[in-house]
Amino acid sequence: MRYLIVSDIHANLAAFKAVLNDAKDEWDFIWCLGDLIGYGPDPNECVALLREHKHLSLSGNHDWAVLGRMDLYHFNADARVAIGWTQSVLSDETQEYLEALPPRDRYAPYTLAHASPREPVWEYILDDRTAAENFNYFDTNVCLVGHTHVPVIYEWADNVGVRRHEPHYGQAIPVNTNRLIINPGSVGQPRDNDPRAAYAVLDSEENTWEHRRVAYDIRSTQKRMSQFRLPFRLIDRLEHGW
């Protein structure tokens, strides 16, 4: 089976469409690692588009916030505005769908978690030490995470510890090796100084993973965000990738 791996779409429909188009006919099933909404201008449309395809999705911290499951003091002022706006436009259908999603799941030999296997809603795996600790919190060979919006691979090797690998775009790498924590990056709001949408393709028969990037019409997303008076900083950051 070939999986299209997406995370942190964040209601950015133009970015999500570009990913689906870029990977056309190259996958059988979508795994979405959460944060479908929050930040961007098209929450209902993004969820509807995901649901048109065979897929499985997790929920993330922004999904939880919009559903009223978490206190908004955890979020910065701009994120809070976006969450409030999203709540005001969320359809009953989208809400019902999001309510049913778990933040963590397991499909051996893969574990899926929005943030980290230890703290699936909240924890940011941004350094080797946090990654190393998290290898104790899942029992499969590979754990896929999103949340940081930064594509990366952490490899665990006995006697060596954690090694961090930068993504090699468009290059399939084996995943039936040492244990791995892999982040595909963010579709809708990349934060690694590359504004292109990030995603990945996982082939469970070949046991390979491929990080990918695709340019999308950033202006169209920015225009819609301006129309809805979403915070300038959230609009601006899309073209810079931070």
What is the size of the binding site for Zn ion (CB under 5 A)? 2
In the range 31-50, which residues lie near Zn ion by CB under 5 A? Answer: 35
Shortest distance, CB of residue 149 to Zn ion, whole angstroms? 6
Task: Give the nearest distance from C-beta 1 to Zn ion in angstroms.
Answer: 26
Number of H helices, E strands in the chain: 8, 12
Sole window of 2-10, 91-99, 219-227, 234-242 interacting with Zn ion (rule: CB under 5 A):
2-10
Q: Please say which residue, 175 or 238, places its beta carbon nearer to Zn ion.
A: 238
Least distance to Zn ion, CB of residue 18, Å: 18
What is the DSSP-derived secondary structure letter of residue 141?
S
123: contact with Zn ion by CB under 5 A: no
Kindly tell me which of 9 and 153 has the beta carbon lying closer to Zn ion: 9
Q: Does 8 bind Zn ion (CB under 5 A)?
A: yes
The closest residue (CB) to Zn ion is: 35
Q: Which residue has 């340019």 as its token pair?
A: 215
Q: Which is nearer to Zn ion, 35 or 123 (CB)?
A: 35
| Shortest distance, position 139 Cβ to Zn ion, whole Å | 26
Residues 6+ apart with CB under 8 A from 67: 59, 95, 98, 99
Q: Which two tokens stand for residue 126?
A: 């941004």
**Angstrom distance (rounded) from CA 237 to CA 117:** 28
With CB under 5 A as the contact rule, which of the stretches 6-14, 125-133, 191-199, 212-220 interacts with Zn ion? 6-14
Angle at 21 between CA 19 and CA 26, to 5 degrees: 90
Q: How far is CA 150 from the centre of its chain?
A: 9
The least distance separating Zn ion from the CB of residue 5, rounded to whole angstroms, comes to 15
- Shortest Cβ 7–Zn ion spacing (Å): 7
Residues in the chain: 242
73 CB-side CA count, 13 A: 0
Q: Give the integer Cα–Cα distance in Å for 164 and 181.
A: 10
Instruction: List the beta strands (DSSP E) in the chain.
Output: 2-6, 29-32, 55-57, 104-107, 110-113, 142-145, 152-157, 161-165, 173-174, 179-183, 197-203, 208-214
Give the nearer residue to Zn ion in terms of CB position, either 145 or 175: 145
For Zn ion, the closer of residues 142 and 198 by Cβ is 198
Residue 63 lies near Zn ion (rule: CB under 5 A): no
| Cβ proximity to Zn ion, 12 vs 111, nearer residue | 12
| Residues lying near Zn ion in the complex (CB under 5 A) | 8, 35
